[in-house]
Chain A
Amino acid sequence: MKLSHRVLIFVLMTWPSLAAVTTAAPRNVLPRGVQELLDSDVIPAYMQGDPQWLVTSLSQIVARVTPERVVLINQALSQSNLPSVSELLLDARLSLVLQGRSQVLPKPHPNEILLTIAPVEQAIEESLEFAQSIAVMQDPLPQIDSLKAFEKAFWDAHVLRNRLRTARMLAEYGQAMVREAKTLRPKQIPAEQRSLLDTDFAELDSRLVAAGLKLEERSLELRVQRLALAAKICEGDAPIRERLEAAFVGDLDGELLEQFFTANRDYPFQNAMLRAPGTLKDIQSRSQRVRESPGDLVKKGRLLFEGLHWWMRGRYGQGPEGNGMLKSMQALTDPVALFSLYMPVETPKPTDPFDTSQYSIPEIDRRHHHIWQFEYRRINVRQAITSRQRTQSGGEVKHSITKFDRFY
């Protein structure tokens, strides 16, 4: 499941209690214990965005049910607009791995292993297909002649980079799952699922690595091209709007390229233009021309686009907890956790909040409508023994003489 696609079950008009959401599956379809675990743990854990609780509770269910029952559970979850069991487990496990909390993960049960191998493989294949589909990865790189078109290309590259990173984590997870599956007894693996053990996650990972290397080279190539265009615009008499954009991107590209080429002088580029000895000198010269553009445009461009970038993160970003509204506790101590957010894969186009016929973008039109629901304080009642008194009655010793009938 992609976090950006999460269905928000908060109903905005009344903001009801989360406890009201339960699975709609008929009670006689699922065993009572499973139904209770779903209602009391799995759904609340999902709604509260608590991946550890979700994995712990859902793993227990998966461990004790047959694949047929998993199908029924998926139907029950679907009726409550929740993703399937394998999606929930995968998402929650990955979320904890991304947060660096893999040590809290319970060891997956054989059922869970078999349940997740195929979705993991599919998710990786989808990422590889996406890599082949975008313009930035085509051979040769298409010629781009406007700042707007460059922006689109960089966005695609950014999205792909994130997908490849996640896919590599999935590949690592998949390898571990296959290793575990191979230690199972043959009777633990249904015949129709034995082929899962042949899934070659190492091969998938090597394809991901190759795609990643190509992407990085393409990104550099794009920057060199965009810097050349930006320098040209800054020196011309284009409208102030265009010069402002050019100053920002030219300054940014120049800085990044200079850093890279200075640190990696002998990098074995595939691309001939990047390998050419005069490339760094050209970059430095063009950067200089951009920075000397009149009106302090570089500084203004930085303030504008960095400001907008942060705004986008505030508006559309999702954290790993609290239905995307919250960052993890680590955000209080770890700058990486404070910064990290899930961002939409495509540039979002907001929808009219009054139009309830479509999926709402952003999911939360005003954060302040919902933040009060994050209540971390608790009232606890403590009971202490303040006194103890003990009294005893009875137990008196009553002596009696028994006469023996014999004489000694």
Chain B
Amino acid sequence: MRGVTSPSTTTETTTYTSSATISPADYRMVARLVGFYEYGHALRNLDQLVSICSSEELAAIDKIVGDRDEFTVYTDLGRRFQRGPSSLIAAASPTDDRAKRGLAWVMALARVELASMLVCFTATPQPYELVGPTPFDAAAYMTLLHEGALSHYWALVNDPMLEPVTRMSPLHTEVLAYSRRLVIARGLLRATMKAQHGNFSPIQLREISAWKEGLDSLQAGLVAKIELFLQHTEQQQVTKTSVNRGLEYVSACAKLLEIEQRELKAGRAQVIEK
């Protein structure tokens, strides 16, 4: 008996589910920033020094620090990023006025840098207040805080990358980085508003509040986008079809086949092709 199987079709449907995860925040990373450990140690020493020195000694110390070029701190950096008028920036100051010297400026710079690192990489509540100034360096601190807020705001709003980043998929690292950038900018604006509250005119207060609200909503948009992306799961079905060729086979009695072979070999039989 001779037989055949018809071609068979195998259809395999696989369902893939995609889900996004974000690597966890690691607050220890702040220690990798050059300046975190260093400014922290600097302030621990200098804060204690200020607390035990007389005003005469502090004046002498201020002179020691002020006489050394390496401790000069240039200020008013926000102006570099300014593109339009603002009530929040003072009239242009001569170059000499921007080069600040003395212990108070040294301490103030360390505080703003350290607090910014905390706000950017940890969940420390109100870091600018936590490392806030002593009466000795309060004025310098307020100046550098204010300058930091202006620099970050203007650099951000004038950054040509900002708009494309808001449209990018959160899979691009830039989205997370800009979100972090907004955290620091908003932190500086908030701290400045709090520290300068009594000193700002109503116009200044309105302007800085509007800035903060603008950045708040920008960040809210980015965060919402990231969260939505993380919550979203996508299912995809892939169907594969494979066709198996048919099979021909012969089934016969083994004894008969053996006889057939023998008869053919002996010449007593022959195959007639039809």
Contacts and interface: CB of A to CB of B under 8 A. Distances in A.
Interface of A: 12-17, 239-241, 244-245, 295-296, 299-300, 302-304, 306-308, 310-319, 321, 324-329, 331-332, 338-339, 341, 347-350, 352-354, 365-369, 371-402, 405-406, 408
A304 B171 CA distance: 47
A350 B69 contact: yes
A389 B13 contact: yes
Contacts of B184: 368, 371-372
A314 B110 contact: yes
Contacts of B12: 388-390
B34 A327 contact: yes
Contacts of A331: 31-32
B63 A241 contact: yes
Contacts of A393: 8-9, 11
A102 to B, nearest CB: 21
Given A12-B80, A379-B176, A392-B8, A314 B18 contact: no
Given A367-B34, A390-B12, A394-B9, A349 B69 contact: yes
A371 B37 contact: no
B117 A371 contact: yes
B71 to A, nearest CB: 7
Contact of B38 (A12, A15, A314, A368): A314
B222 interface: no
A202 to B, nearest CB: 36
Contacts of A353: 74, 77, 80
B98 A354 contact: yes
Given A13-B81, A239-B60, A397-B3, A368 B11 contact: no
Given A338-B31, A349-B70, A365-B74, 20 more contacts: A307-B45, A308-B46, A311-B38, A314-B110, A314-B113, A326-B34, A354-B79, A365-B77, A366-B112, A372-B177, A379-B21, A379-B22, A385-B16, A391-B11, A392-B9, A393-B11, A394-B8, A400-B2, A406-B272, A408-B256
Interface in B1-59: 1-26, 28-29, 31-35, 37-39, 41-46, 48-49, 52-53, 56-57
B163 interface: no
A374 B33 contact: yes
A352 B14 contact: no
Given A314-B42, A350-B70, A384 B17 contact: yes
B10 A387 contact: no
A314 B178 CA distance: 24
Interface stretch (B135-143, B153-161, B195-203, B210-218): B153-161
B64 interface: yes
Nearest to B8: A395
- Most chain B beta-carbon contacts within 10 A, residue among A239, A319, A397: A397
B17 A327 contact: no
B152 A241 contact: no
- Most chain A beta-carbon contacts within 10 A, residue among B17, B160, B183: B17
A367 B117 CA distance: 9
B34 A341 contact: yes
Q: How large is the interface on B (under 10, 10 to 19, 20 to 34, 35 or more residues)?
A: 35 or more
B193 interface: no
A368 to B, nearest CB: 3
A49 to B, nearest CB: 11
B224 interface: no
B146 to A, nearest CB: 13
Given A310-B39, A389-B12, A379 B174 contact: no
Given A375-B176, A385-B14, A390-B10, A399 B3 contact: yes
A317 B70 contact: no
A375 B22 CA distance: 12
The 10 closest A-B pairs by CB, nearest first: A395-B8, A307-B45, A314-B38, A368-B116, A310-B42, A303-B49, A372-B181, A307-B46, A311-B42, A310-B41
B124 to A, nearest CB: 15
Interface string B108-124: 01101100110011000
A308 B42 contact: yes
Contact of B23 (A348, A349, A380, A399): A380
Contacts of A317: 34-35, 38
A111 B79 CA distance: 50
Contacts of A327: 31-34
Given A310-B42, A350-B70, A379 B116 contact: no
B259 interface: yes
